[in-house]
Chain A
Amino acid sequence: MSTRRLATGGQIDRGRPITFTWDGKTRTGYSGDTLASALIANREEVIGRSFKYHRPRSVMSAGVEESGAIVTVGSGDRTEPNVKATMQELYDGLEARGQNAWPSVRFDLGAVNNLLGRFLAAGFYYKTFMGIPPLEWGSGTGMWMRYERLIRRAAGMGEASRLPDPDHYEHAHAFCDVLVVGAGPAGIAAAGAAAESGLDVVLVEQDNLLGGAQLSTPCGGSESIPSVQELESSGVRVMTRTTAFGLYDYNVAGLVERVTDHLPDPPGYLPRQRFWTLRTKYTIVAAGAIERHIAFGNNDRPGVMTAAAARTYLNRFAVLPGENIIIATNNDSAYEGAVELSSAGAKVTLLDARSAISDEHMQQLTERNIEVRCGTAPLQVLGSGNIAALEIARADGTGWRAASTESCDLVLVSGGWSPVVNLLSHRGVKPVWDSTQACFLAVECAEPISVAGSAAGVWNSADCVASGQAAAGDAIQVLRGQMNKITRPPVGGWQQPIRALYEVKVPGRKLKSFIDPQHDVTTEDVRLAHREGFVSVEHLKRYTTLGMATDQGKMGNIIGLALMAEALGKEISEVGTTTFRPPYTPVSIGALRGRSVGRHFRPLRRTPLHEWNLDHAGTMTEAGLWQRPWYFARDGETLADAYVREAETTRRTVGLCDVTSLGKIAVQGPDATDFLNRVYSNAFAKLAIGKARYGIMLRDDGLVMDDGTSWRLSETEYFMTTTTAHAAPVMAWLEELLQTRWSDLKVHVTSVSEQWAGIAVAGPCSRTVLEACVEDPACVNNGNFPFMGVIETVLKNHIPCRIARISFSGELAYEVYVPSDYGPAAMDLLWGVSEPMGGCLYGLEALGAMRIEKGHVTGAELDGRVTIEDAGLGRMASTKKSYIGSVLRKRPELTREDRPRLVGIFPSDRHETFNAGAILCAADTVHGFGDGWITGVTHSPELGHWIGLGFIAGGLEAWQGKSVVAADPVRKSNVAVEIVSPHMVDPDGERLYG
């Protein structure tokens, strides 16, 4: 089989042949090819199978609107489905294959759907499978959900890889004065003129080459298009392979730059794509126009494509897509291509729907032996697989009648041009129908945006250049305040006006005429939608799925609107259009997520003791952003073994724990005491220097915000700790109060969380450990350092530290803080003493076990719905002062007796276990929302069985001695439990004073 490649011409590099595979077969192309041009050159006829009917499809265009040649590229974890072959640059080793077909696109068993086509019209699935007995045997939509799975398998697009994406993506930001979208004649002229006046210009082009439509002309490779270097030396920043996919508020443009999609072996240091946020002051949209099809019978067959696409394949890729070509047009734009195809050796027949064409054009065409038939249009493509012939219709009054049949191997269609107004639509501009040019134009925009070239309905390239210069003039005028004379070329520019033509049909003939080939929407579907009452274009779109495929209506929207207007007896301008929304072309999820993936998904916070913990066999866990030690397993221990041992050891001798992640805030200034007295619910006015106090903060609405301790270091300085989870919100809250409400207070707050490493030293031997570690052992004896005392002193080896005698575990305990860099040295020192005493290191799991035993609350309990009384901390609410939340915590709803209150939970059978998250129910009413819930559970080494903390309506008083069930139906089943005091171990706190 000979190739369709011409011996000369085009912008391909014949010196650089490229080998690729199509459906497993090796094919060759050249550097400069797209996958589509290479497939056409290789005479591959069927490239895709359609969405619903599995009809054979091939290349229909040469651009982003492609709806036929949709393929899967790559393999394994680099599989990319739904790639438009027209946009995929060819590279060595590229693997492409057909999709939505089995076993292959050439022989597809799913094509049986095509025979059933008359049953598969718009709404078929909903009508058939929903609500009609006996198909609806099941209840509700259950059966529909089953059918839908089968239906979805039969219909559809390519299949994505289920493997992790091996590539990386980047987010980048840029600024400029003028953004020019599109590097065709208008865009290049606009960018050049704006740069010449000294403006900072960015020119983006989705193609890999500059030139736009100019590339599809015979002189596409000549000097008529400036090179990237030339433009950049004139001050334009050029971004090729970059799509401006959306325009957003205040001149923000979203760009996607495809960095390596065209490379066979992308270097690892390059991102696959870059997602740019570009801030500009002025935008010039020179995005071009897209040639429309005309609806006629079997107009989706391989071998039907737009006239402009054939011109592109001929002139840019040196591929002659057919030898016996019929061109059907309703406007002037197809003539140049007709001449060029004829010159390249094809037999060309031209059908023009208009009754006459200009003498000049007629002369040009007939000189080339191109037969021109005015007043004719395509009616139906004949031939089962490939095109064999075209049935032609002749104008008959306002309609058409079947006239003749002509053999051919390629049908080219030009139904007029649709300016790419999508980016203006993103800005809320309603496109207006121009009936003379038969297209929508964006005519008014309140923002600093100009439209130029064919995007503005200017058809000739000389006019496009002028249009681009005029747009640059607009930008200069706005940004520089210069008033220059701006000459704008008129809209249009064809010798003979277009004759609007959307569908060719003759009475009494049933044709399968496609409007949206990607979603298999036909002209009959639109009429059916109209008959069934879906007359609004928005409803039409949703009922037929017209324009909802990956091309987002670039191909067929206008035809759909025109047919609906016809059915309604209205003008297109009255029917209106749907709104284009970003993105203009699909954006990969990878580009959107950028680097925020895996370990970069969120920040990682490590304490200064991280390495130390790992060196001592610590297993880490995530606590918010923090990595915290979970447990320190010894030989053969599991998590459960380890935390029980750690808790036991700590309660018996001593344990050390990294508590650096607690929030730490320096509160300084003459009014610091007054400030703390206002933000904490308990009294702080008389806290002595050298003392710490546990405090609760409420929100304005009276619910608990956070708890922690504040240590008074001097008359004017406090060291506040917060929970790990609330460290950042508490800091912002204190700043808000000081800056927006109490600007009279002389207080400064500084986050010092990063400055201090924190180590809890807990257990009956903790004082002995400290005595051995501080320079002056006397400062930590019971007399000098009582419960809730604070000292600032020096550990051995000159380690500065501050220590408070406070306890989360319920044991005699201390929190030791040292400057972060001293953390490992301080830990070495403390562990050096603790280890020989039989002490242990403990992690979050043992810490949790001990705090649950004590009934100490954490974030699991303080979840933003809890009052201070609910948490069993009512005694912490001062009655002698006013503080944040003191008024609204007394709201009736917050003071009800039956509110959920903190309780301890034992399994009735002490050998049983139960889960956090279980719902607490009275034993005789295990249904509904229950009466409470469990927030945390642990095995209690002290008590020898499982225990939990939770909330239950009315608290201990209401439930003591009653039968309660921890209902956990989906995980563990129900467990009988008892409600007890939350203070399950050492309720009187005697150990603290030991």
Chain B
Amino acid sequence: MNVAPAPIPNDTDDISTMIRINCPFCGKRDHSEFSYGGDASVEYPPLDAPAEQWLEAVFQRENIDGVQFETWQHLQGCRMWIVVERDTTTHEIHSIRPAHEGIAQALASDKGGEV
């Protein structure tokens, strides 16, 4: 018997992997153009928040086996920070959006306008 391949979806704009990250501003680029930020789910407390909150935000991290939101910067490209929803075990990327909420909204309505 030969190898029977499992079907994969066709290469579309919204599929990207660790090897290629689909920058919302530049398009698909090699991951080596990006630099990893950190856990995007961390809410940094106000600057005058109690030490416990800052300790939690700065030092406590989940070591997630599965899907997590993380920040990346397109350092060698547009320099924009993006939020990448990535599976840490398969490197599969489920979604990408600009980290800046205002820009994310503007981009979404921009794309909506085109359709």
Contact = CB atoms under 8 A, between A and B. Distances in A.
B58 A732 contact: no
Contact of B2 (A252, A470, A479, A888): A470
A57 to B, nearest CB: 37
B10 interface: yes
Interface stretch (A216-224, A439-447, A493-501): A439-447
A740 B82 CA distance: 8
A925 interface: no
A636 to B, nearest CB: 46
Nearest to A678: B47
Number of contact residues on B: which range applies?
35 or more
Given A447-B6, A451-B3, A882-B48, A736 B18 contact: no
B49 interface: yes
A456 B2 contact: yes
B113 interface: no
Interface string A11-46: 000000000000000000000000000000000000
**Most chain A C-beta atoms within 10 Å of own C-beta, residue among B2, B75, B91:** B2
Interface in A886-934: 886-888, 890-891
Interface in A475-490: 477-479, 481, 488, 490
Given A701-B58, A891-B51, A736 B73 contact: yes
Interface in B54-104: 54-55, 57-59, 71, 73, 75, 79-81, 91, 98-103
A598 B1 CA distance: 51
A830 interface: no
Interface residues of A, number: 51
A963 to B, nearest CB: 40
Interface string B18-56: 111000000000000001010010001011111100110
A448 B73 CA distance: 30
A736 B3 contact: no
Nearest to A700: B58
Contacts of A882: 46-48
Given A250-B91, A448-B8, A740-B81, A491 B1 contact: yes
B5 interface: yes
B8 A478 contact: yes
Interface string A724-750: 000000001001101111010000000
A805 to B, nearest CB: 31
Interface string A685-703: 0000000000000001100
Given A250-B91, A739-B81, A740-B100, A732 B35 contact: yes
A451 B100 contact: no
B11 interface: yes
B7 interface: yes
A445 B2 CA distance: 10
A250 B18 contact: yes
A888 B99 contact: no
B2 A488 contact: yes
A884 interface: yes
A198 to B, nearest CB: 14
A723 B106 CA distance: 35
B48 A471 contact: no
Contacts of B80: 739
Nearest to B49: A887
A363 to B, nearest CB: 33
Contacts of A444: 3-4
B8 A250 contact: no
A449 B6 CA distance: 9
Contact of A471 (B2, B20, B37, B49): B2
A743 B47 contact: no
Contacts of B11: 281
Given A443-B3, A478-B8, A741 B35 contact: no
Interface string A279-299: 101100000000000000000
Given A735-B79, A887-B47, A252 B19 contact: yes
B54 A700 contact: yes
A471 B18 CA distance: 27
Given A735-B79, A740-B37, A740-B81, A447 B5 contact: yes
A451 B5 CA distance: 10
B51 to A, nearest CB: 5
Given A250-B17, A887-B48, A446 B6 contact: yes
B54 A250 contact: no
A478 B6 CA distance: 8
A607 interface: no
B1 A488 contact: yes
**Most chain A C-beta atoms within 10 Å of own C-beta, residue among B3, B47, B100:** B3
A818 interface: no
B43 to A, nearest CB: 9
A281 B5 CA distance: 12
B113 to A, nearest CB: 22
B58 A449 contact: no
B63 to A, nearest CB: 19
A452 interface: yes
Contacts of B2: 450-452, 456, 458, 467, 470-471, 488, 491
A478 B5 contact: yes
A474 B5 contact: yes
Contacts of B19: 248-250, 252, 279
A444 B4 CA distance: 7
Contacts of B46: 882
B71 to A, nearest CB: 6
Contacts of B54: 700, 887-888
Contact of B10 (A279, A479, A488, A886): A479
A445 B18 CA distance: 20
Contacts of B40: 740
A187 B57 CA distance: 55
Nearest to A471: B2
B81 A735 contact: yes
A302 B65 CA distance: 54
Interface string A393-426: 0000000000000000000000000000000100
B71 A740 contact: yes
A675 interface: no
A741 B71 CA distance: 11
B2 to A, nearest CB: 5
A883 interface: yes
A474 B20 CA distance: 24
A442 B101 CA distance: 47
A914 to B, nearest CB: 38
Nearest to A728: B75
Contacts of A738: 100
A920 B94 CA distance: 53
A887 B49 CA distance: 8
A732 B3 contact: no
A443 B1 contact: yes
A481 B51 CA distance: 57
A371 B10 CA distance: 57
B1 to A, nearest CB: 6
A668 to B, nearest CB: 15
Given A445-B3, A740-B100, A883 B47 contact: yes
Contacts of A443: 1, 3
A884 B5 CA distance: 52
Contacts of B98: 739
B76 to A, nearest CB: 11
13 contacts: A282-B5, A424-B3, A447-B6, A456-B2, A470-B2, A732-B75, A740-B40, A743-B102, A882-B48, A887-B50, A887-B51, A890-B51, A891-B51
Given A282-B5, A732-B73, A888-B54, 15 more contacts: A249-B18, A249-B91, A442-B3, A450-B2, A456-B3, A739-B80, A739-B81, A740-B100, A741-B44, A743-B100, A882-B48, A886-B48, A887-B54, A888-B51, A888-B55
Interface of A: 248-250, 252, 279, 281-282, 424, 442-452, 456, 458, 467, 470-471, 474, 477-479, 481, 488, 490-491, 678, 700-701, 732, 735-736, 738-741, 743, 882-884, 886-888, 890-891
Which 3 pairs from chain A and chain B are nearest by CB? A882-B47, A882-B48, A739-B81
